[in-house]
Amino acid sequence: MTRYTQDIFVSWEELHRDCRALCRTLIAREEKWTRIIAVTRGGLIPAAVVARELDLRLVDTICVVSYRGAQAQQAGAVDILEAPTGDGEGCLLIDDLVDTGRTARAIRERLPRAFFATVYAKPEGRPFTDLCIREIPQTTWIRFPWDTELSFAVPLVERDDD
């Protein structure tokens, strides 16, 4: 199991900027996809941005469960709850992150002909994607904006934990 030694917090603005950078790279490929398949749940928001920027109206999902609780993947357990039919030909598969590659491997087996693009990738999972915009160290946990909330931070001089 990967030990996470640092966190990075991705803001909504940063995520949107990175998704648009992904779109620019996809547009430069001059390929025509018939639909987008978003990997639930993390790929839903990036897929919405990609659908808008690439003017694609057909958006489907592949519903996958591999994480159970914060920072915990069940060993070997990747459940595909629902998936589109076919082998992915003409489809653009979008996810927020590929981490260890376990989920990506299962999706690739189900949709081997889809073009798989992620916003973020870690070294272990990167080989399972066709494209990513930003590589992240394997030991870094990404805090996405939909998983966090703003709260008051006690000034450092008032903290007892230092």
CATH topology for 6-158 is: Rossmann fold (3.40.50)
Residues marked as catalytic: 95-96, 99
Cα(16)–Cα(52) distance, integer angstroms: 12
Average pLDDT along the chain? 92
Distance between CA atoms of residues 161 and 63, nearest Å: 41
- Residue spans per domain, the chain: 6-158
Which tens digit of pLDDT belongs to each residue from 34-85? 999 999 999 999 999 999 999 999 999 999 998 665 545 545 688 999 999 9
d(CA 73, CA 66): 6
Within 13 Å of residue 30, how many CA atoms lie on the same side as its CB?
A: 0
Mean pLDDT of 78-107: 95
Token code pair at residue 155: 């000034």
pLDDT at 124 over 90: yes
The total number of residues shown for the chain amounts to 162
Amino acid occupying residue 36? I
